[in-house]
Amino acid sequence: DAKTTQPPSMDCAEGRAANLPCNHSTISGNEYVYWYRQIHSQGPQYIIHGLKNNETNEMASLIITEDRKSSTLILPHATLRDTAVYYCIKLGGWGKLQFGAGTQVVVTP
């Protein structure tokens, strides 16, 4: 059961949109895509999740490709407080949340 693949790091300019890619080519039909982030020395924070439709909430937008093999998390206007490790996780049903290495996002002024 391969996990997801994310770039290890990304830089983003403050005020610009941050687009975080995630590859989950082995995703099965009942698995959702979840995004969490962890700011340094804090507990992780839920951001958004989706199955096949694009989703948007007050924090971010989630764009899932039609074949569901990849997705992109969009932070529309990145701020310095968005500097964190972002985790993309595929999970079905009531499975246990397992974290990979994630993407370290650094937002610079």
Partner 1 sequence: GAVVSQHPSWVICKSGTSVKIECRSLDFQATTMFWYRQFPKQSLMLMATSNEGSKATYEQGVEKDKFLINHASLTLSTLTVTSAHPEDSSFYICSARTGSSGANVLTFGAGSRLTVL
Distance between CA atoms of residues 49 and 32, nearest Å? 7
What is the closest distance, in whole angstroms, from the C-beta atom of residue 18 to partner 1 in the complex? 20
Q: Which of 42, 66, 67, 81 binds partner 1 (CB under 8 A)?
A: 42
Q: What is the 3-state secondary structure (H, E, C) of 4-54?
A: CECCCEEEEECCCCEEEEEECCCCCCCEEEEEEEECCCCCCEEEEEECCCC
Query: Residue 53 interacts with partner 1 (CB under 8 A)?
Result: no
Q: Which of 13, 17, 101, 106 binds partner 1 (CB under 8 A)?
A: 101
Taking CA atoms, 70 is separated from 4, 9, 11, 14, in Å, by: 9, 17, 20, 25
Query: Residue 91 interacts with partner 1 (CB under 8 A)?
Result: yes
What is the closest distance, in whole angstroms, from the C-beta atom of residue 48 to partner 1 in the complex? 10
Q: Which of 32, 59, 61, 63 binds partner 1 (CB under 8 A)?
A: 32
What is the closest distance, in whole angstroms, from the C-beta atom of residue 26 to partner 1 in the complex? 18
Q: Which residues pair with 84 in a beta bridge?
A: 105
Applying CB under 8 A, the residues found at the interface with partner 1 are 32, 34, 36, 38, 41-46, 49, 85, 87, 91, 93-102
